Amino acid sequence: MREDEKELPLGDVIRQLREKADFSLREFAKEIDVSPAFLSDLEMGRRYPSDQTFERLSKKLKISVEELRKHDVRESAADLKRLMERNPKLGFAFRTAVDEFKTGKITAEELARRIKGK
Q: From its phi and psi, is residue 117 left (phi > 0), alpha (psi between -120 and 50) or beta? A: left
pLDDT attached to residue 4: 46
Cα–Cα distance between 101 and 115 in angstroms, integer? 14
- Residue 9 shares a structural domain with residue 50: yes
- Residue 22 shares a structural domain with residue 54: yes
pLDDT classification of 86: cutoffs 50, 70, 90? very high
Domain count, the chain: 2
- Residue 94 shares a structural domain with residue 44: no
- Residue 65 shares a structural domain with residue 112: no
> Residue 74: what residue type?
R
- Residue 81 shares a structural domain with residue 64: no
pLDDT tens digits for range 28-67? 999 999 999 999 999 998 888 999 999 999 999 999 999 9
pLDDT attached to residue 89: 94
- Residue 7 shares a structural domain with residue 50: yes
Structural domain of 103? 77-116
pLDDT classification of 73: cutoffs 50, 70, 90? confident
- Closest-CA residue to 34 (of 20, 18, 13, 16): 18
pLDDT tens digits for range 89-103? 999 998 999 899 899
Query: Which DSSP symbol is given to 5?
Result: G
